[in-house]
Structure 1
Amino acid sequence: MNPRPVRAGNDKVIVTCALTGAGDTVGKSEHVPVTPEQIAASAIEAANAGAAVVHIHVRDLDTGQGSRDVALYRDVVRRVRESGVDVVVNLTAGMGGDLVLDDEDPLKPVDGTDLVNAHDRLPHVEELLPDICTLDCGSLNFGEGHQLYVSTPDMLRAGAKRIQELGVKPELEIFDTGQLWLATTLIEEGLIDAPPLFQLCMGIPYGAPANPELLQTMVNMLPDGAQWASFAIGRNQLPWVAHAALLGGHVRVGLEDNLYLAKGVKATNGQLVERAVRIVEDLGGAIASPADARELLGLREAARA
């Protein structure tokens, strides 16, 4: 199959900024936002720098760790919406899939486990009706030790059906080729409305490695008519903007995935977006506005009410 072309001319590249994530990064950079006020301000900064979409996690105010607290999401989204800055809101729905096993007794979950069913991962989506929410399309050995991310086929079917009922666009987060297979099965079963939106997530141990040839293979596996983006973590984040754009995809940057603008230079979300915009434009691409993103992704009016 021939590679898909670089986006250029009237083809618009959507820049997503993943603002904070849920990883243990708060102590590694003073720029990682923690409070709702900081996360919302970072979203506005990213939008003003050229991001059409902001991907939002929230963090516990005391520990700085990732949280599923609906009140925190409510506060962030209110601040963003009331700011008057136009940006597409993408809320994570991946929290609630963490399982950490005991070394001696694998049937015994230990500290760090936060495992709930598909519907219990969605109360903030049900209340706030963002434009987009994520759907992590499979289980994964997540890093070292005994930590797993759990998202079974039936959990995904239940989550996809509920997201579809709400009129929210699911971003199908893909961490390996088997997850891409499963996501296309959900589409075939009618649980994902057209156009499907894929996020190809590269370099997360132990999912798909950040290998450009593998990215090309995964792009070739996408169904016709799909919209897709890709990102890689750490030092690969900014080069990956070029890889994704050259294959005809959208791009993602942000402090969820990378803390640095250059070696030893800590970044803000706005700076990472500015760099991504420059890379895309230097390659001959055009940056999508939030209105462009809504049109490209087929976002429903109900999800933006």
Structure 2
Amino acid sequence: MGKTILTVAVTGNQTTLAQHPGLPCTPEQIANAAIESCKAGAAVAHIHVRYDNGKPSMELEHYREVVDRIRDSGCGLVINLTTGPGQRFVPGAEDPKVFGPGTTLMAPEKRVEHILALKPEICTLDLNTMWSGDSCVINSPKNVTIMANAMKEAGSKPELEVFDTGDIQLAKQLIKDGVLEEPALFQIVTGIRYGFPGTVETLVFAKSLLPENAHWAAFGIGRMMFPMVAAAWTLGAHVRCGFEDGVQIRRGELAKSNAQQVEKAARIIDDLGGELATPDEARAILGLKK
């Protein structure tokens, strides 16, 4: 096996301050969490942004400040910006055709404005259409294509977020149609209700569906975060951890920081006989355009 790329997802948009009072929220906090995690062994930082009060944000200036702080730090982290916000539809209580409170659904061009402006080396491309809580996540093939074309224009490599088998089939079709380039980078998301369960059997099956030359990673949410680090590595995948996926370091104990979670994931990989990639080694593995 080659070296393993460890991604840290430092804040996400679903984790709340009520779940962890140390959740990074301001651009400075998010950037510092990513930089500290790089020193602990992470090669890639997956970035969402928030308002100071913890509410999810899509503000370009929030993304810009985080990206500038990481780049100016000299740590060399590979930056991976989300394009997930803007995909949720909540049916209205009286008329399900009309959006209800909590709907964020918007034009795909709006969801990639920060990608075109900041040109990260990686950005996520969600391929799922599924229920998430009381909202429906919608990523139509047409909208995904528009976003993928914008990513290509920005020179950013899409990280294909797949939550179930149909998402992988959509990815294969987009590759066949020339929308996505090979080798593609897949991120298998497990533990989301109504999606892939967080089990070893799931990963074995999902891996069997991927294109033969694909790069891939996988992660689990909540209590399965660290078990899935071990399972993913064993199957030859890259790995991920961070406060977006879970806030504990062990059952019943909040993690002190994202960096502490990275240290634990790094220790798991080391104990299994693996070796983490540096940011520049990750770039070489994935063929990124720095």
- TM-score range for the pair, normalised by the shorter chain length: over 0.9
Q: How does 1:128-147 map to 2 (within 5 A)?
A: 128-143=118-133, 145=134, 147=135
In the alignment, is the contact (CA less than 8 A) between 2:45 and 2:79 conserved in 1?
yes
Aligned to 1:225: 213
Post-superposition shift, 1:259? Answer: 0.3
Match of 1:3 in 2: none
Find 1:274's aligned residue among 251, 254, 263.
263
TM-score normalized by structure 1?
A: 0.93
The TM-score with structure 2 as length reference comes to 0.97
Matched AA of 2:50 = R
2:84 is aligned with 1:111 = no
Deviation of 1:192 after TM superposition, in Å, equals 1.6
Q: CA RMSD in A?
A: 1.0
Residue equivalent to 1:17: 8
Identity %: 45
In 2, Cα distance between equivalents of 1:275 and 1:189:
41
1:4 aligns with none
Quote the residue 2:273 is aligned against.
284
Q: CA deviation at 1:112?
A: 1.0
Retained in 1: the 8 A contact 2:83–2:123? yes
Greater shift in the superposed pair: 160-169 or 42-51: 160-169
CA distance in 1, matches of 2:143, 2:122: 19
- For 2:199 and 2:219, how far apart are their aligned partners in 1? 11
CA distance in 1, matches of 2:284, 2:276: 14
Pairs aligned (count): 289
Deviations 1:209-250 (A, max 9, x none): 112112101101110111000001000000100000000000
Higher relative contact order (CA 8 A, sep 6+): 1
**Alignment deviations for residues 21-66 of structure 1 (CA, whole Å, 9 cap, x no partner):** 001422211221000010000000110000000000001224x111
Where does the alignment leave 5 or more consecutive residues of structure 2 unmatched?
none
Is residue 2:40 matched to residue 1:52? no
Distance 2:216 2:22 in 1: 28
Q: Which runs of 4+ in 1 moved over 6 A?
A: none
Alpha-carbon distance between aligned partners in 1 of 2:280 and 2:15, rounded to the nearest angstrom: 34
CA contact (8 A) 1:164 1:193 kept: no
Q: State whether residues 87 and 139 of structure 2, in contact with CA within 8 Å, keep that contact through their aligned partners in structure 1.
A: yes
Other-structure match for 2:140? 152
Q: Determine helix, strand or coil for the equivalent of 1:159.
A: helix
Aligned to 1:77: 67
| Pair 24,251 (structure 1): closer, same or farther in 2 beyond 3 Å | closer
